[in-house]
Amino acid sequence: MLEAKNNDELPPIPPKRYFTIGEVGELCAVKPHVLRYWEAEFPQLKPVKRRGNRRYYQRQDVILIRQIKSLLYEQGYTIGGARQKMTSGLENMSASTVSSGEIKSLIRELEEVIKAF
């Protein structure tokens, strides 16, 4: 999962329904060509494609990309190892394994959503 120090460096995810590949790149500090490559390597990452084959990512896609980035760049997994870790149980993670940094990040994002309304 995401490391606490990594969460602090990344900007909060705005309360939008869809994000372009450029916006996701900025939110996750990853270049668009890397995101396109990860789509081919991780079957869980399936952005909506609209006219002209333009990609539109949803909030859960952004969270998934942050998880992939953490596995690859922070925890040192290979692409194959990260893919295996993602398919073997990150989706079914229980509440007891959620780190305090993740909880703080979620609280911060929820507070920002509340302020927006």
Phi and psi (nearest 5°) for 39? -60, -40
How many residues does the structure list for the chain? 117
pLDDT digits (tens, 9 = 90+) for 2-52: 444 455 578 898 988 999 999 999 999 999 999 999 999 999 999 999 888
Alpha helices in 4-99 (DSSP H): 4-9, 21-28, 32-41, 59-69, 79-85
77-112 pLDDT, tens digit per residue, is: 999 999 998 887 645 554 455 667 778 888 888 888
Beta bridge partners of 48: 56
Q: Is the pTM of this model over 0.75?
A: no
- Spell out the domains of the chain, with CATH numbers in brackets: 4-116 (1.10.1660.10)
